[in-house]
Amino acid sequence: MKNKIISIISIAIIVCSLFVVAVSCKNISEPVTTYNIWLDVSDDTTVVCSQKVDVVNNYGAPIEELKFNIYANAFDKQKPLPCTQEEQSDFYPEGISYGEFSLKSVYGDIKEYDFDFESNILSILLNAPLQVNEKISIDMQYTLSLPHTNGRYGFNEKGISLTGFYPMLCAFVDGEWFYDEYSPLGDPYFSDAANYEVTFNLPSGWNYVSSGKSKQSEDNGETIVTASAKNIRDFALILSPTLTKSVSKYDGVEISYLGDKTNTLEYAQKALEVYGSIFGKYAYDTLAIADMPFVAGGMEYGALCVINASLGGATYEEVVAHEIAHQWWYGAVGSNNLIDAWQDEGLTSYATYLYFVNTGNVDYSSLMLSDAYSQFHRFIDIQNSVGESAKGVLGGKLTDFPSNYYYTNVTYNKSLIMWKYLQDMLGKDALLKALQEYYATYKFSIATPDDLYFCLDNASANASALMKNWVASI
């Protein structure tokens, strides 16, 4: 198993290196950065990786330096734990476990590179500035030692979660690479959409779901899988020795499910139908869902959702609907979740509310709202009672939120209340018209709050003023 994939990796490196020498920079026809990643899943805890990134300068100005965020480094034993203190026992049910990211080499037409352990940032200084619409190939090799955890990245008794595992180009915002320290609170990943082709060996008897369309081949009794996806926010792969895999098709979308529940595929189809009809057609031709032990309700990745396997009933359906809504708000339309988490989380919560309205479970949609109201007002009361009145400002750095409780109430509950208020004030038709324009205009890019305000105002004059009041204060 190991030698076979390693040989594929070695050939890939040689080919890539020749490619770099021959045509390090050239004009490209498709202006999207593309990752090729080869993974050798040698056992439950170690993955040997080779990665070639064709970075395309579609940023409008010459680029002298590249910055990759290495989220996996946040799990190193010399770093603060990547979880909050309150969730530590759920995050590490078998005790604290560390991971290790080991960078072996970086090749390309580069002057030098530097991996800053503290910030998790790999900086690569190019030999010559990368001009607009040119591309450059960067090759790197690294090994992952996985932590044992119920967090986003690592392994547990159900399998392996490879999310945020690879050096990921930072999002390019206002002329520079944007990154922040790894936040244990909220969603830490932030990137531009890119194309991916990821090849890995599937351990014998295991199942998997991944971002994108995958095909399998057999090589000397070993199963090799290649998964391809275009314009996804990030690539994710879930592998399991025990979970079963089922597949269905809806309106041209292949839906894969790794888990043992009977209604998941039906919920996924309903979500694609509801969101497709009210926001715009689903942006991808695949959707994957995996039930895994997970510290929170669920988590979204590019065309893939992880759902906490211990959930059941309507709560499970809500989380499935929530994570799939993120494919519109996070996946296709990106936003800076490191400083404006409300922008995708609030809209995703509102979308989930609409999912229940549109699928006939009005009782549950009402319950979602009444829960948001009661929890948020209780939160305000508690803050006032301890003399720390909550300002209720929606934006802010993840790392500045005082607690998960504070973050959840502002980012989810207050935001959902805000969206319902806008629906009541503008009318649902005008609001959905704004969201349809927002989706169509910013699909595969990163939208700012101003971009959202612009679409609101287009649908209904001065509508954004209503939202800004909520964003700025209580």
**In terms of CB distance, is 5 or 289 closer to Zn ion?**
289
Residue where the block lists tokens 């399991």: 240
Query: 355 is written with which tokens?
Result: 């999912």
**In terms of CB distance, is 37 or 289 closer to Zn ion?**
289
**Minimum CB distance to Zn ion, residue 344 (Å):** 7
**Minimum CB distance to Zn ion, residue 179 (Å):** 21
**In terms of CB distance, is 317 or 345 closer to Zn ion?**
345
**Minimum CB distance to Zn ion, residue 221 (Å):** 41
How many residues bind Zn ion (CB under 5 A)? The answer is 2
Query: Looking at beta carbons, which pairs linking 350-354 to residues 24 or more positions away fall under 8 Å?
Result: 350/415, 350/416, 350/419, 350/420, 350/423, 351/275, 351/279, 351/321, 351/322, 351/325, 352/318, 352/321, 352/322, 352/325, 353/416, 353/419, 353/420, 354/274, 354/278
- Window 197-236: residues binding Zn ion (CB under 5 A): none
Rounded Cα distance, 399 and 186, in Å: 9
Which residues have CB under 8 Å from 341's CB, separation 6+? 186, 187, 398, 407, 411
**Minimum CB distance to Zn ion, residue 319 (Å):** 9
Interhelix angle 449-459/463-472, nearest 10 degrees = 150
**Minimum CB distance to Zn ion, residue 87 (Å):** 16
**In terms of CB distance, is 192 or 345 closer to Zn ion?**
345
**In terms of CB distance, is 93 or 297 closer to Zn ion?**
297
Q: Is residue 71 within 8 Å of residue 188, measured between CB atoms?
A: yes
Q: Cα separations (Å) of 439 from 126, 406, 446, 451?
A: 35, 29, 11, 11
- Window 348-377: residues binding Zn ion (CB under 5 A): 348
**Minimum CB distance to Zn ion, residue 141 (Å):** 33
Which residues have CB under 8 Å from 166's CB, separation 6+? 35, 37, 49, 51, 72, 235
Q: What share of the chain is helix, strand, coil (3-state, %, to 5)?
A: 35, 30, 35
**Minimum CB distance to Zn ion, residue 253 (Å):** 21
Question: Quick one: which H or E segment has residue 325?
Answer: helix 313-325
- Buried-state track 8-46, b at ≥16 Cβ within 10 A, e below 16: bbeebbeebeeebeeebbeebeeebbbbbbbbbbbeebe
**Minimum CB distance to Zn ion, residue 322 (Å):** 6
**Minimum CB distance to Zn ion, residue 464 (Å):** 23
Q: Mapping DSSP to helix (H, G, I), strand (E, B) and coil, where does residue 456 land?
A: helix
String marking each residue 313-352 x if it binds Zn ion according to CB under 5 A:
--------------------------------x--x----
Rounded Cα distance, 463 and 470, in Å: 12
Q: Is residue 235 within 8 Å of residue 198, measured between CB atoms?
A: yes
Q: Is residue 26 within 8 Å of residue 57, measured between CB atoms?
A: no
**In terms of CB distance, is 341 or 467 closer to Zn ion?**
341
**In terms of CB distance, is 139 or 345 closer to Zn ion?**
345
**In terms of CB distance, is 110 or 307 closer to Zn ion?**
307
**Minimum CB distance to Zn ion, residue 66 (Å):** 29
Name beta bridge partners: 145.
46, 100
**In terms of CB distance, is 201 or 352 closer to Zn ion?**
352
**In terms of CB distance, is 291 or 345 closer to Zn ion?**
345
Binding site for Zn ion (CB under 5 A): 345, 348
